[in-house]
Chains A and B, each alone.
Chain A
């Protein structure tokens, strides 16, 4: 058992510690903006009243201050180099009461839930007057919209039959107070640009790779929240990424690409040049191999998803379906809405989401946070225990049987909060060394009479269709897939693989896992915008997966030789 998992088991203690530090806080480095927000909040709460006497029962101001930078280079030359600072305000106003408020879904209308995007730009500095002005105006607009919508909600309730899920609209939570340090970064953009140039130079020797880049991006984000329940929060994080991208076109016109990323909470935590260069070389080797690889044949049979690939798979196919609001939204498929207490996975598997986890096996986790965007402390949530569904990911929007948030209400500035994943963790009690899992794959192939099984070593995030009116199908994009032959031939890379099938069946057919949990760090896009997430999973062996050949683009490879090939030719000539 890893130290991380031990910590995970002790989750009530972990939560207690977070709460303790939260209440103990309030130190000197509080950003002056916070008291400005607090004062405006108070003024608005005390004085805002609509023409019909409606007052807000809840008000929250959230400020997201982002200082980001991005450098990218291709073939040793810089292609992008910029920095950006933004400070945006989100105002959440609720009218009505906790049981029924303006955020209730309006049934039978296209509007449904209100996922409107509206952030206000705040001044980046200067005196407080301009900031107060912006807060004042945004609050007035939001309050009027809330009053209007509450009337619509009430009218809608009168004309529709009773809802299937009669949960309240907003959960009551204890306020959080915590003042962490205001984080910043002092990255030397010029040095990072030089680094990206250096790393991207390697591609210049490979004219068959038609597009390539190495980018370094990241920065500091600070969150400030105050709400009418007494929450007052300041916390921040830094995040950095090195991305390696390469693309080419196979002779038959199929577009192929590879992407590798390194994420770290700190700039210093990023791997050194030697390690990144190794990854560049691997990307080069893999994409050139893909270019020559045979096309996949339609296949239904056993497969291994390597740890990180399995993490993406669980995130896309499983995790999104456990988001609380999907159990409530009448437009949703509600795959798991009524399956609490029922087995949804093999008995040896458990799934949790633990946003309090900072690091796993030395890797910084993207999905770590201190508080969610509704001021609720991050928590560890047991979603599936020994195969049985126990809970959902929950924001402050309660759903049947769940009245409290579990700290998963997240958003990107400007979006409306919904339940999202943080660090999704797959745990297995039936784990074997990877080599053994491979042997099991081969045995399973023989049992099913298959000549080969598939090994997915890399999957990029796909999209998941969760709406009810769409088929409950899913698609993730496998980037590296090998055939593992039963007769001992070496593994063979194939290209053009698309996974098809239905999600629930796929998960019930997991046979075993390896003992090699690893982290996939990424950014997840959904209704409430893009949020940083992680998935941790061991490699999994599935009894049956269905793949087909993907549609290929029609353009043929370039007609003329790449200029960098000519350059090499010219250099060669010069040397002769």
Chain B
């Protein structure tokens, strides 16, 4: 197991500017033997490979191009999910399914049907078999092939048409100079031991029930929910270049959320997620229960905290808050690749900022999915091969504050022609995305020094107090952009020069732009490891960040007042009966 010791030196990556090539010997003899053995033993793999080869050589429509590349991704899994509230199960689901993604490409690596957007529909390959032949969940060789055959046939006909349209648009818009559509990569063959496809729903129910019962002690908590979702099974990736992969195991997520409502109607929510490969990997129920009590206690304190109506000045983001604002700002920006033909350019495109400074000189960023653990925390964004079968590699993105590289899938850009193992998205079309983003600062400061720096910055501005944000809270994941531009931090403290701190609530940040990150004054010496399930799992390891100046203000929202009647949890003589 590799462990990252956060050093003050930026990590050197294997890939600099995406130019270095990973040299691999094409499928050695041992792998060949391995493959034969696996094909004999694994019906799903055999059906995928046989149908792949038949469709590759056989698919052709008169006068139209044949596929030059076909890839199948298949997830074979049992999935289960249990939700509980106040010690009682509210939903319980369990199902077994196999889902298939087909990626059929016609044309050539230089110009194919992808990277094309027309009439609002994007031709990025399609998730197959949603209609038509359903995928068996049993090991029936011909029935599995039937489902693959049908999906491939439909996909082929759609992409052939897309390529014709794309070429027409390129001609009419005189687009001649564009990067190739698909990078050439070495095939890989690797098989994880086949994982069992089974889950213990009763055990999951027991965990969710006992954890959710914690909130019975807190009548002021208006809403609470505990959901445990788990998947178990295997994923397959095969393509016509010779890649044959089987990934074993899926993941399990325990999520806890709770909401209180202040007397003025403001709702305050907090949540946390814990990941493991199986429910057995989760921390003990006692540990999770303790975290729930912490969440509850913090929410109760916030319920009665005064409202911060506005603030303008230095802000220190710590722990989860720092990791999440970094994830939100940069999660998508570091993704490279070309724009689809027919789509518009964005002014914030990082491809235009290469070699320019985007962070303070003392900051460095590396994305390294090969890491399994950071500071003892398991890395959710760890993988050995990305979802296009390219081996994971560390990539130095920012060096001394300057943008040096972008994360690449097999979708090339002008600047980077090869994948650097960051094609993510197994069932959706893979695209470049963060795996494990590690942010470090040269001469990072310890917590005490950082707070001192915060106070000094505030004093310099002539402010009576400074602001420290300890948690963004909220329910759900905000690493993506779907949450809008703003942030409504949950746990904020006014920090006074004498060291006194006051918990406040309510003020929101309308926007943090790139310039604000560039002017970060200082950063901490220890990363907070933030795991999110986005893009098949991502990790952001980010130290505390001290911003020079941010604006916060309370936003008037149309909240209902708190409930009129007291909660049943607060009733004195409530009879508790058992409900079947």
Contact = CB atoms under 8 A, between A and B. Distances in A.
Interface of A: 31-33, 36, 40, 43-44, 47-51, 72, 74-86, 121-134, 136-137, 140-141, 143-144, 204, 210-211, 213, 247, 555-556, 558-560, 562-564, 566-567
B87 A126 contact: yes
B567 interface: yes
Contacts of B94: 82-83
A132 B568 contact: yes
Given A81-B96, A126-B209, A247-B132, A49 B578 contact: no
25 contacts: A32-B579, A40-B568, A74-B134, A77-B136, A77-B143, A78-B136, A81-B96, A81-B137, A84-B92, A121-B90, A125-B580, A126-B87, A126-B209, A126-B579, A127-B579, A128-B575, A133-B568, A136-B567, A137-B222, A140-B563, A555-B154, A559-B60, A560-B54, A560-B55, A562-B146
Interface in B51-74: 51, 54-55, 58-61
Nearest to B209: A126
A555 B157 contact: yes
A36 B575 CA distance: 10
A74 B580 CA distance: 36
Nearest to A134: B85
A124 B89 contact: yes
B362 interface: no
Interface in B534-578: 560-561, 563-565, 567-569, 574-578
A8 to B, nearest CB: 39
Interchain residue pairs A-B with the least CB separation, the first 9: A126-B88, A123-B88, A77-B136, A563-B145, A130-B86, A77-B140, A130-B88, A79-B134, A132-B568
B140 A76 contact: yes
Interface string B133-155: 11111101011111101100110
Nearest to A253: B157
Interface string B201-241: 00000000100000010000011000000000000000000
Nearest to A70: B95
Contacts of A79: 134-137
A364 to B, nearest CB: 27
Nearest to B60: A559
B119 to A, nearest CB: 15
Given A77-B143, A141-B560, A559-B60, A86 B91 contact: yes
Nearest to B94: A82
B142 A564 contact: yes
B97 interface: yes
A459 to B, nearest CB: 22
A128 B93 contact: no
B135 to A, nearest CB: 6
Contacts of B55: 560
B156 interface: yes
B488 to A, nearest CB: 21
Contact of A560 (B134, B153, B222): B153
A211 B129 CA distance: 10
Interface string B89-115: 111111111000000000000000000
B564 A143 contact: yes
Main secondary structure of the interface of A (DSSP, over half): mixed
B577 A128 contact: yes
Nearest to B139: A77
Nearest to B89: A124
A74 B136 contact: yes
Contact of B58 (A77, A81, A83, A560): A560
B137 A563 contact: no
A125 B88 contact: yes
A149 to B, nearest CB: 13
B74 to A, nearest CB: 14
Given A74-B147, A562-B149, 7 more contacts: A43-B565, A74-B134, A79-B134, A123-B579, A124-B88, A144-B560, A210-B133
B92 A558 contact: no
A31 B134 contact: no
Identify the interface centre among A48, A79, A141: most chain B CB within 10 Å of its CB.
A79
Contact of A131 (B88, B567, B569): B88
Contact of A563 (B85, B142, B578): B142
Nearest to B145: A563
Given A137-B222, A556-B157, A32 B142 contact: no
A141 B259 CA distance: 15
A128 B143 CA distance: 48
A562 B61 CA distance: 16
Contacts of B60: 559
A36 to B, nearest CB: 7
Nearest to B566: A136
A47 B565 CA distance: 7
Contact of B137 (A78, A124, A213): A78
Given A47-B565, A558-B149, A559-B58, A123 B89 contact: yes
A101 to B, nearest CB: 19
Interface in B72-86: 83-86
A567 B209 CA distance: 49
A123 B136 contact: no
B57 to A, nearest CB: 10
A53 to B, nearest CB: 12
Contacts of A50: 564
B156 A559 contact: yes
Contacts of A74: 133-134, 136, 143, 146-147
Contacts of A555: 154, 157
Identify the interface centre among A51, A80, A136, A563: most chain B CB within 10 Å of its CB.
A563
Contacts of B135: 79
Given A247-B132, A560-B55, A130 B565 contact: no
Nearest to A570: B142
Contacts of B568: 40, 129, 132-133, 136
A500 B574 CA distance: 62
Contacts of B149: 558, 560, 562-563
A360 B516 CA distance: 74
A130 B55 CA distance: 55
Contact of A137 (B58, B61, B90, B563): B563
Nearest to B152: A560
Nearest to A33: B579
Contacts of A137: 222-223, 563
A464 to B, nearest CB: 24
Contacts of B93: 82, 84
Given A136-B563, A210-B150, A560 B133 contact: no
A558 B137 contact: no
B159 to A, nearest CB: 12
A75 B140 CA distance: 9
B90 A48 contact: no
B511 to A, nearest CB: 31
Given A36-B577, A562-B146, A563-B142, A72 B134 contact: yes
B580 A129 contact: no
Contact of A128 (B223, B561, B578): B578
B90 A211 contact: no
A48 B132 CA distance: 53
A77 to B, nearest CB: 3
A211 B134 contact: yes
Identify the interface centre among B88, B91, B222: most chain A CB within 10 Å of its CB.
B88
Contacts of B138: 77-78
A266 to B, nearest CB: 23
A269 B88 CA distance: 35
Given A44-B565, A77-B136, A136-B568, A127 B153 contact: no
B576 A133 contact: no
